[in-house]
Structure 1
Amino acid sequence: MATNLKKQTHFDAIIVGGGACGLMCAVQAGFLGKRTLILEKNTQPGAKILISGGGRCNYTNTYATDQQFISANPHFCKSAFSQWTVEDTIIFFETYGIEGQEKTLGQLFPTTNNAKDIVNVFTALCADLGQELWCDTEVKAITKTDNGFSVTFERNGREEQIFAPKVVIASGGLPIPKMGATDFGLRTARNMGLKLTETAPALVPLTITGKDQEWYEALSGNSIFCRVSNEEISFEENILFTHWGLSGPAILQISSYWRPGQWIELDMLPHQNITQLIEQERQTNGKRPLAGLLANLYTRKFADALSKYLPVEKNLASLTRQEMEAIDQLIHHFRVKPAGDKGYDKAEVMRGGVSTDELSSKTLEAKKVPGLFFGGECVDVTGWLGGYNFQWAWASGFVIAQNL
């Protein structure tokens, strides 16, 4: 469908991307009487919203502050989070019929457990506020003009252009390309002369190769509660053994802080002390084999797998001091050197992106390109697992809307 010049000039801004940031930006702009057009590549908006939290959408986290975000400038997100808080997110969704229920570690899900309800809030509001949403529309290029921007896009098999005084890049990052993820936001920033912070998969499973691979493969499907740490940070949640390495919440969390060649450490009994447990058991049942004690602490399969490293057949009473030290070291300081990660196909988010040096923290407008805004995942602000990245998306969408 061709667009005429009259229609082109009726938009205060064009928003590239109908995900969490783009949708919030359009709605908030509508509340202010501004008219926007969302151009979305997929057949429907909110693709990542719909798959998040196993299709239930953990849409924020009650613990979210600037402390759970990774960026070359860790203070950059403070302004956005002061303008749009977690409480603002909760009230916004409650206003439109979404009641939250808090689950593990502050994650907030709709009581309906249906991510579609989140997307429906935005599509209904866009319709009510006169904000246009064009799906199956792929933006090809953005060109700066004397008084705004020319946006080239492909729709219904035809390449067209449309003009607007302001443009919002909310096109996401590189993870899950099969869902339409591209590097469009990064390319646009680069073409406009903006710096990028190096990108990499984040919240991503880690792979194990070499001589230890078979041991991990044999444990595939087993999950244990761990404290996973490196020199920078630690997380306490479950880890999951897989046929290619390690996954699970704690591994996804640490992956955002891991770099190739580095070690991570697993404390596989974080709230107990294995040496003390053995000493206590020795007092009453010294003839018990170590395997029996381990079977009480872990799944049978995992306890059996530890026989590769530990003298599991020995009686507790006969364990030497050296063996006790080795057991303590293995249980509480199990070192892993991942070979790599599973890449953008399996990553939940992207680390890095448009450099925060290039953007105003108060408005998210590009300092060198007035009228051009970047929000959501394509910016170098990466949150932890558990609703944090949605909070950044909502906040950045709100902030941009106030400045269109």
Structure 2
Amino acid sequence: MSSTSPLKQQQHDDHHDHDDIVYPQTIPFILVHLACFAAIWTSVTWEAVTIAASLYWLRMFGITAGYHRYFSHRSYATSRVFQFILACLAQSSAQKSVLWWAAKHRHHHLFSDTEHDVHSPRHTGFLFAHAGWIFARKHDTVDLVKVGDFTRYPELMWLHRYELVPAAVLAVITFLIAGWPGLVVGFFWSTVAVYHATFCINSLAHVRGSKRYVTGDDSRNNWLLAFFTMGEGWHNNHHAYQASVRQGFRWWEIDPTFYILKALSWVGVVWDLKSPPEAVLKNEQKLGSRVIDRAAADLVATFNVESITAKVSHALETTPSLTDLRVKLTAAQHKAHEVLAHVHLPHVPTRDEIWARASTMFVKTRSLDDIVERAHRLILEAVGTRLVVAAG
């Protein structure tokens, strides 16, 4: 029997993402892209281009309002009938089932830009976060427990089992309407465009853009992505308050998905649209402990703990007045940081120094002092642990 713990196994899996690609599964994805070049033989008609443009925006709405804001975050309520329509519309984009998509996205928010995130440019690289992760063997299956609120609907489970049916039906319809140009340009061109616009939220929106909120991850607001994704590009806003049906928090942050949902609420198709609290809109909310911990870890990463430890160790060896401190550290063992907290040592950054660096790293937040306090403790713990090991 293997003695590998679940945690160690998870860490092992996370460090081998790029070795876990099921290459045969990339073939349909590649073929969809190659099919776009068939327009060289089928020609490009205005009718087909009109179909492509229409299907791009229609299916983008299915992804933003369906996959994301409804199935992943329940940011509004709707009827069972419209829920099924949203699911079919979203799955016509050929981005797997609503249950798979929502489960992976909920997992992403739990571990955003940590080693356990399913798509983080910080840990797995831009291209892997953009598309490669989809083909990793461990993502073949889905943890349906994460979407238990939807598995009770048999029609959604049917769509989950036959995830490509909506896309296949749509492809046939485009062919019947406009022939081969309708299929190639209308369906395949718009499908590929929707693919990469959606994928850019996982990749580019965690690399390029501005940050209004401290979220403990790399999410950013990107106006250009917001345009092509009907409002999803206000990604830092979204990570600051995930349950909001509106992601463009400012009047000038265009969010067409929200406008359409708002209009649908006027006629009773959707209801209970959730909005961010006033404290969030004013950026005055207190951050949760998980966000503070992640932000503090990012702050600590800007200090060279190994160098600090080496300098402190040298000071302990060469400064007579610090001889007793080394003895105390050795005796303290895992509580060495508590000893260091009450002693001013050269080379160990003070709270004021950490705060100064934090103020340049993070945008306005009421929780900056909490982040600094946590970072200071983490630095002391890291230095203290290394000093005790070195002394032993």
TM-score (norm 1): 0.25
**Bigger relative contact order, structure 1 or 2 (CA pairs below 8 A, ≥6 apart):** 1
Higher strand share: 1
TM-score (norm 2): 0.26
